[in-house]
Amino acid sequence: MRKKALPLALAAAAVAAIAIPGVSAVATPDKATPDKATPDKAAPDKAATPDTVRWGPCPDKAAAPRLECSKLDVPLDYRDPDGRQIEIAISRLASKEPSKRRGVLLTNPGGPGVTGLDYPALLAASGLPRKVLDSYDVIGFDPRGVGRSTPVTCDLTPEQQKRGNFPPYAHTAADVAREAGNARTIAKQCATSRTASMLPHTTTANTARDMDRIRAALGRPTLSYLGGSYGTSLGAVYTTLFPERSDRIVLDSNLGPGGYDVTAKRSLARGLEDRFPDFAAFAAAHPKYGLGTTPQQVTAKFFELAKRLETKPVDGIDGTAFRGMTLDLLYSDATIPSLAGNWQALDKGRPLPSKPPKHPENSMASYLYVVCGDSRWPSTVREYQRNVAVDRLRYPMLGGSTAGIGPCAFWPDKRVEPPVHIGDRGPSNVLMVQNERDPGTPLAEARKLRQAFGKRATMVTADQGGHGAYPFGRNTCANDAVTSFLTTGQRPPRDLACAAG
């Protein structure tokens, strides 16, 4: 039976502003020019060898009894492949039909900072079709720096963890300047932590190289891939660096070609406004919540509650946390009633019936390592003040937060390579799938990635809301297109718009 709720792992890219938000803030720009993304030479192909991985029980065997786990050593710095090695934890949900198996399907649920070790089992429980499960050994992994893969830290205090990676909603330029001190402190903690030596090397490009090491260790000449949210950026980088080793690449809920950069962070404000009408219609149609009887009244209630909670928080939820919680619980249709119930409780000054998730320090730290290390971010307070002024007017629900300043503004300038440039060089083997009203990765950004891929990609859009289309959404047209591609290699002949239903 298909699980209707979007897995929390996939949603973790924006898991409430109080935890792991969609993007943090900003890093010191460097003078490097974008990489033209010729195929990567850092990781030699060792696929001629048979599968050398020794599989055994997973850490939480009871939760996913069919999963097997192992670990793989990879270089910390691919410029020095024989230097320091770190561990990558991997998992396998083996095909029950070896005669039908055509290869491996590597998966990633998003993030950054999210464990993916149990993701194959979660996909199977959430409706990944049997013919896909028969066609592949489905592989999960914890990306470098995350979970059981040589974890990183920023030595974040409990209070810093509670505040999360979203800056407080800024109503004035002074609010931005005030938050700069907190951002600077966290950046310094990351740069002086016991894992600071991993800072320059905990990047999407190096995680993509780790993926190729996984492929080689499994004895496969190519790999197929299913990635959601931030996982679309990881997949895009992999198939750019290793085009000839990419088989069937599925990217679901797509970031723009810049990955989790300052544009992606700011786009969360647009994503909330794209998605919010679905909630407003639901709340208006269910007057028992007392949030209004028209979408306009529900919208007004949002701003009323945000203002009131800024002055007097309820159950630990202030105005910023309220905005982030609203974004988070709009990631899935299944959590919309929970959001309405939380609003109702906050409106009446009562404890929340459904508590926001808590996230470990490692998740927040590894998130910062990647987003701050991958991209160029504005480095002056004044630029964030300008961005906040623009986005607060353009997207008033969330723009005053997502355009704000964070630790990346003060990140140490230790970049060892320029960002990977996503382009149209390589085989035509990418299928993008995208919900039209996605709060975490808006359609506008997905269209930019589609344009960057050119002839390499085909995109399927689904007239539905939420973050994560396959296999979690209900749109049969979109789901069937992805299943067909993974099992037969056939994509729609051109970009496909799937009607609701």
Encode pLDDT of 452-501 as tens digits.
999 999 999 999 999 999 999 999 999 999 999 999 999 999 999 999 97
Bridge partners, 90 (sequence order): 70, 141
Amino acid 20: pLDDT = 21
Amino acid 415: pLDDT = 80
Confidence of residue 338 (pLDDT cuts 50, 70, 90): very high
Confidence of residue 28 (pLDDT cuts 50, 70, 90): very low
* Torsion angles phi and psi, residue 500, rounded to 5: -60, 145
In the block, residue with structure tokens 């794209």:
274
| Chain segment 279-324, per-residue pLDDT in tens | 999 999 999 999 999 999 999 999 999 999 999 999 999 999 999 9
The domain ranges of the chain are: 1-501
Estimate to the nearest angstrom the gap between the alpha carbon of 342 and the chain centroid.
Answer: 24
80 class by beta-carbon count within 10 Å (0-12 exposed, 13-18 middle, 19+ buried) = exposed
| Chain segment 231-283, per-residue pLDDT in tens | 999 999 999 999 999 999 999 999 999 999 999 999 999 999 999 999 999 99
Higher pLDDT, 97 or 4: 97
Active site residue 467: yes
Min mean pLDDT across 174-188, 209-223, 345-359, 439-453 is at 345-359
Tell how strand 246-252 and strand 136-141 pair up: unpaired
Q: Nearest to residue 218, comparing CAs of 116, 109, 119, 141?
A: 141
Name the average pLDDT for the chain.
90
Amino acid 165: pLDDT = 83
Q: Nearest to residue 420, comparing CAs of 176, 240, 185, 291?
A: 240
Amino acid 149: pLDDT = 98
Confidence of residue 49 (pLDDT cuts 50, 70, 90): low
Q: How far apart are CA 501 and CA 339, in angstroms?
A: 23
Selecting among 70, 229, 246, 363, the annotated active-site residue is: 229
Selecting among 40, 118, 210, 438, the annotated active-site residue is: 438
Q: How far apart are CA 246 and CA 238, in angstroms?
A: 8
Q: How far apart are CA 498 and CA 462, in angstroms?
A: 5
Residues 383/409, Cβ–Cβ less than 8 Å: no
Return the CATH architecture of domain 1-501.
3-Layer(aba) Sandwich (3.40)
Confidence of residue 43 (pLDDT cuts 50, 70, 90): low
For residue 44, is pLDDT > 60? no
Active site residue 229: yes
Amino acid 35: pLDDT = 39
Q: Residue 391 carries which side chain, given as an amino acid letter? A: D
For residue 356, is pLDDT > 70? yes
Q: How far apart are CA 318 and CA 18, in angstroms?
A: 10
The dihedral sign for the CA sequence 457, 473, 8, 281: positive
State both tokens at 406: 């964070």
Percent composition of the chain: helix, strand, coil (DSSP 3-state, to 5): 45, 15, 45
| Chain segment 390-445, per-residue pLDDT in tens | 999 999 999 999 999 999 999 998 788 899 999 999 999 999 999 999 999 999 99
Confidence of residue 25 (pLDDT cuts 50, 70, 90): very low
Q: What is the mean pLDDT of residues 370-376?
A: 94
Q: Residue 432 carries which side chain, given as an amino acid letter? A: M
